[in-house]
Amino acid sequence: MRWILSLDGEEAWEYIELFSYDLVVLDVMLPKIDGISLCKKLRDRDYSMPVLMLTTRNRSTDTVKGFNAGADDYLVKPFNFNELTVRIH
């Protein structure tokens, strides 16, 4: 299993272009390219791996934005680690 930790959306995009991933976990509030925009960019370029959005934003409009950008799941912080694990599997 390959995983990376990127501190901003631009760096994450560079890694996504270089390697294949089974799952992308994005924080909505990433600097440089936010998680919603990065998710949309992935889908616009036909990347099909699952995307799980993590965020402190819990309004229904934020959740809708995440799903409309192409996210497969949306989890609000703070979250239960067991729940995150189940969603990843």
36 in a domain, yes or no? Answer: yes
Overall domain count for the chain = 1
3 in a domain, yes or no? Answer: no
Q: DSSP per residue over 20-80, as a string?
A: --S-EEEETT-SSS-HHHHHHHHHHTT--S-EEEEES--SHHHHHHHHHHT-SEEEESS--
- pLDDT, tens only, 42-53: 999 999 999 999
Give pLDDT, residue 3. Answer: 79
pLDDT-derived band at 1, boundaries 50, 70, 90: low
What's the predicted TM-score (pTM) here? 0.91
17 in a domain, yes or no? Answer: no
By mean pLDDT, which of 2-6, 9-13, 15-19, 32-36 is the weakest?
Answer: 2-6
CATH at 68 = 3.40.50.2300
